[in-house]
Amino acid sequence: MAKKNPKLWLYAKDYLIIIFGIALYGLGFCAFIATAPEKVVIGGMAGLSQVVDMITFGVWGFHVPYSVTIFSVNILMLVLAWKIVGRTFVIRTLFGVVVISTMMALFQPMFTHPPVEGQSFMNVIIGAVLCGLGIGLVFIHNGSTGGTDIVAAVASKKSNVSIGRAMMYFDLSIITSSMLLKFVLIPDFNFDEAVPPLVYGLITLFVIPFIADMIINTNRMAVQFTIFSPKWEDIATAINNEAQRGCTVLNGMGWYSKKEVKVLLVMCRKIESVTIFRIIKSIDSDAFITQAQVNGVYGKGFDEIKLKMKPAHDKGELPQRPEPSSKIV
């Protein structure tokens, strides 16, 4: 029987969850947001595809599928950004672009009417929640959907604008431009009718990142395992190979037995704790285990320490005075 490669399985699991996350995003957008009678435009590449469709239909009288715009614009942006963002980012993003274009091509013809009739606000909220869930799942498994990710990555490398702020600017410009296009392309434009789509679009601008942040922050929660077992070597090896987590071996002594024991200390994400429990149980079902939630873990494999160092004079310290010159003027 061929030995299972745990690293290959972890990669495969990541890509499967990325596909599922993008499918949730495509479902939320195509089924609940794009079908709203108010023609709600959201941010990101999906919103840009709505704007392109609005222009082509208003000027030339034909529709452009969302998948065509998303795929074409993303490929063009990746080619232009290749030297700036690097090869790894481009390859990872290319997978997400192909998947999201495919999902849009599948879902757009399937949904022509909103699932909840006469409840535009509810449709927009449900769609935004699904989009946020999808983006959160994609991000925690090191995936990318392209679009604003590319723009934000380029902006952060070429200027002092943060990635989050760059994405916010890009999304806001798409939502507001849709209203301007309606004013230009629609002869009997009614401002009162244009306000609800704008408001709904701005709501998605805040709901989608909020839900995505909830998923990402939940995944970042860390736990600490303390494991006591005579089979500590097998457990430590299995955790290294199957869970891809490090173990620290501590020396201890049982006070009752007066025998030396080895204690394993393991730090992992909360979402990985079930995997750790399964590994331990499969090797030693009688192992003594404690699990504690920690506020933060920083370093390789976890969160990066981000501190903005201030100059000495910003901390209340005066800059050093120059040495007096010996030259008499």
Give me 109's structure tokens: 């013809």
d(CA 201, CA 171): 10
Evaluate whether 222 touches 294 at the Cβ level (below 8 Å). yes
Q: How confident is the model at residue 327 (pLDDT cuts 50, 70, 90)?
A: very low
7, pLDDT greater than 80: no
3-state class (DSSP) for residue 32? helix
Mean pLDDT for the chain overall: 80
Q: What integer is the mean pLDDT of 304-318?
A: 54
Evaluate whether 54 touches 132 at the Cβ level (below 8 Å). no
Q: What is the pLDDT of residues 273-284, one digit of tens each?
A: 888 988 999 999
Q: How confident is the model at residue 264 (pLDDT cuts 50, 70, 90)?
A: very high
- Residue 298: DSSP 8-state: B
Range(s) for CATH 3.30.70.120 in the chain?
Answer: 221-294
d(CA 48, CA 53): 9
Among the ranges given (43-52, 168-177, 299-308), the one the predictor scored with the smallest mean pLDDT: 299-308
Q: What is the pLDDT of residue 221?
A: 77
Q: What is the pLDDT of residue 183?
A: 73
β partners of residue 225: 266, 291
**Angle, to 10 degrees, between the axis of helix 163-185 and the axis of helix 44-59?**
20
Cβ atoms < 10 Å from Cβ of 220: 15
d(CA 164, CA 262): 45
Q: What is the pLDDT of residues 82-129, one digit of tens each?
A: 777 677 677 778 888 899 999 999 998 998 888 888 888 899 999 999
315, pLDDT greater than 60: no
Q: What is the pLDDT of residue 157?
A: 63
CATH topology for the 221-294 domain: Alpha-Beta Plaits (3.30.70)
| Tokens 């070429």, located at residue | 158
Q: What is the pLDDT of residue 156?
A: 57
Q: Is the pTM of this model over 0.75?
A: no
Q: What is the pLDDT of residue 329?
A: 32
Q: What integer is the mean pLDDT of 41-46?
A: 84
289, pLDDT greater than 70: yes
d(CA 248, CA 14): 26
Alpha helix stretches (DSSP H) within the chain? 6-27, 44-59, 66-85, 87-110, 120-140, 148-158, 163-185, 191-220, 232-242, 273-283
Q: What is the pLDDT of residue 231?
A: 93
Q: What is the pLDDT of residue 173?
A: 83
d(CA 197, CA 155): 28
Q: What integer is the mean pLDDT of 236-258?
A: 89
β partners of residue 250: 263
165, pLDDT greater than 70: no
Q: What is the pLDDT of residue 325?
A: 43
Task: Identify which of 239, 250, 249, 240 has the alpha carbon closest to the alpha carbon of residue 276.
Answer: 239
